[in-house]
Amino acid sequence: MTTSYYTSLHDCPGLLREGLPIITYHKLGPRPPGTRLKGLYVGEALFRRQLGEWRDAGMNPGSLAEAGTADGNPQGRVVLTFDDGFENVLRHGLAPLREHRFRAIQFLVADLLGKTNEWEQREGEATERLMEPSQVREWMAAGHEIGAHTCTHPHLTQSPLAQAREEITASRRKLEDLFGVPVQHFCYPYGDWNPAVRDLVAGAGYLTACTTETGVNGATADRLALRRLTARYASRNWKNLWALVKRKLAR
């Protein structure tokens, strides 16, 4: 059976060349029994195919540091981001990323390393393990980056400002202390942000911050409110992803 996934890039009228695309992933591999948000999982074989099709389309690995610095996307860069730091990304993602020579960044929940997705379990979601520090080091040793996703994964706009500030600044400090690298990229949990929260992220010294708003990022992009495209099951092939993007951009 030959199924094409991201190959029909001509379906997309130039969006990928209008700015830097940042792709959002969460979990890789098989879904455990009782999974509620099935769309947040992408199977390993599908993930591998997607990477191959980005390559076939002439796309190359990019990094968040490039976001908002240039008009268009002449080099055909694509940035792959993983929210939350799931262990299953290490298990099912490292080999495909290596095979296709792609880099990715994992946004880690600093107080939950080696623990589980507590914030999702409170909503009845199936338990998944989060990478422990040694696994984060394995991730980094493979050439990938880490970023901060707060300490406990709260809704930042609903948190008292002092608490939001602590979530944003302490997560950076803890990750830098633990892993000995600069942590320059932030991701808003639930894509929940407003100007006050954005100011806290700026004050904490982050270079970029990712939202869940849909789109690509040109020269005028707000580097602390970057747009992304979500690679969930519903957008498993390029046609579906593009249909989803068009619907969201039309709103």
Residues that bind Zn ion (CB under 5 A): 83-84, 189
Between 54 and 188, name the residue whose CB sits nearer to Zn ion: 188
Q: For 158-162, which contacts have Cβ atoms below 8 Å and span 24 or more sequence positions?
A: 158/192, 161/196, 161/200
Residues 47/30, Cβ–Cβ less than 8 Å = no
Among residues 62 and 189, whose Cβ is nearest to Zn ion? 189
Output the smallest distance, CB 84 to Zn ion, in A.
4
Nearer to Zn ion, 53 or 83 (CB): 83
Shortest distance (Å) from residue 135 CB to Zn ion: 18
Nearer to Zn ion, 187 or 221 (CB): 187
- Tokens in use for 250? 């039309």
Residue with nearest beta carbon to Zn ion: 83
Backbone angles phi, psi at 9, to 5 degrees: -70, -15
Q: How far is the CB of 213 from Zn ion (least distance, A)?
A: 15
Residue closer to Zn ion, measured from CB, 83 or 128: 83
Question: How far is 245 from 248, CA to CA, in rounded Å?
Answer: 5
Q: Give me the least distance between CB of 161 and Zn ion, in Å please.
A: 21
Closest separation between CB of residue 193 and Zn ion, Å? 13
Nearest CA among 189, 213, 211, 185 for reference residue 63: 185
* Nearest distance, CB of residue 7 and Zn ion, angstroms: 30
- The kind and range of the H/E element at 138 are helix 133-141
Q: Do residues 20 and 66 touch, judged by C-beta distance below 8 A?
A: yes
CA 111, CA 1: separation in Å to the nearest integer?
Answer: 44
Q: 107 or 238, CB closer to Zn ion?
A: 107
Tokens standing for residue 89: 């990304």
Q: HSE-up of 232 (CA within 13 Å, CB side)? A: 12
